[in-house]
Amino acid sequence: MKTAAPTRQVMKTEMNEYEPHIIVTEDGDDFAAASARIFCEAARPLKNPLVILPTGNTPLGMYRCLARDYRNENFWNNFTYVALDEYIGLEDGDPRLFGSWVQRELLDFVAVARDRRITFKSNPHDKGAECARMENFLTENGPADLAVLGLGVNGHIGFNEPGSAFDSRTRVVNLAPETITANSKYWGGEEHVPRTAFTMGLGTLAQARRTVMLVSGMHKADILEKTLTAPISEDIPSTYLRTIPNVTIISDRSAAP
């Protein structure tokens, strides 16, 4: 008889458990405005903010609010953007590139300098070297002051899919079937979603000084609840947020526990 593969529940004795700070907003504009305000409060006191940013639908309202209402903040002059993840195999100029998605939604409006936009090359000669380049950037210039994250319906963070080790580093991953389905909404069908990606590892992200995760929509309510209450386990990568300090979760009413 086939037995199920054992799941790796991370023992509580291996780590401290922290409680993320949770902010619940109304849906829509209120969620975007609160996220932008908290983002600015975090960035303003910093001389050279080094910030990891995600793509996806959830942060779009915040990006638009930042581009509209906060474009003249001084911190943008010394702001460095580091990409959280990227599809593999896309040519320069492809609209699906995550790096260019953040640039056209936010960075072009707030005029972040080109040499301060640190993105993955989607099509590098050597994928291992590309991962090392991004890790080295953070080692030499980091840790990141702030990691802004979204939450996948399967609990993924970046593209750290279920089963990703909490000490994982930047690497190449296969997208989970539910991620391919979720991403198909961005690009009009699963056939347009690349199957592999680069992602910063959970161990890499855990080094950020502060983490803000944005969660919106009823379809995220169940996984947000699990993130906060299920046993801490690599089966639900987002539970790593309870193993690090300085985590804020901004949730709209629809996703809130």
With binding defined as CB under 6 A, does residue 152 bind ligand F6R?
A: yes
Cα–Cα distances (Å) from 55 to 101, 129, 226, 233, in that order, read: 7, 23, 22, 25
Q: Which of residues 5-34 bind ligand F6R (CB under 6 A)?
A: none
Q: How many CA atoms lie within 13 A of 232 on its CB side?
A: 18
Q: How far is the CB of 159 from ligand F6R (least distance, A)?
A: 6
Question: Cα dihedral sign for 133, 139, 141, 146?
Answer: positive
The catalytically annotated residue of 85, 105, 130, 145 is: 85
Q: Which amino acid is at 206?
A: A
- In the residue annotation, 85 being an active-site residue is answered as yes
Question: Cα dihedral sign for 7, 152, 97, 101?
Answer: negative
Question: Which residue from 20, 49, 142, 158 is in contact with ligand F6R, where contact means CB under 6 A?
Answer: 158
Question: Which residue from 49, 56, 155, 201 is in contact with ligand F6R, where contact means CB under 6 A?
Answer: 56
- In the residue annotation, 183 being an active-site residue is answered as no
CB 146 within 8 A of CB 208: yes
With binding defined as CB under 6 A, does residue 85 bind ligand F6R?
A: yes
- In the residue annotation, 141 being an active-site residue is answered as no
Cα–Cα distances (Å) from 174 to 45, 67, 87, 193, 195, in that order, read: 38, 33, 10, 12, 6
With binding defined as CB under 6 A, does residue 58 bind ligand F6R?
A: yes
With binding defined as CB under 6 A, does residue 55 bind ligand F6R?
A: yes
The catalytically annotated residue of 156, 183, 235, 252 is: 156
Our CB check for ligand F6R shows the closer of 12 and 29 to be: 29
With binding defined as CB under 6 A, does residue 240 bind ligand F6R?
A: no
The residue among 49, 192, 116 whose CA lies nearest residue 102 is 116
| Matching residue, tokens 């802004």 | 148
The catalytically annotated residue of 86, 130, 161, 234 is: 161
Residue at shortest CB range from ligand F6R = 150
Stretch that binds ligand F6R, among 1-9, 72-80, 127-135, 147-155 (CB under 6 A): 147-155
With binding defined as CB under 6 A, does residue 156 bind ligand F6R?
A: yes
CA 108/CA 79 separation, integer angstroms? 13
Stretch that binds ligand F6R, among 25-33, 149-157, 226-234, 248-256 (CB under 6 A): 149-157
CA 78/CA 69 separation, integer angstroms? 18
The residues carrying an active-site annotation are 85, 154, 156, 161
Chain positions contacting ligand F6R, by CB under 6 A: 54-58, 84-85, 98, 150-152, 156, 158-159, 182
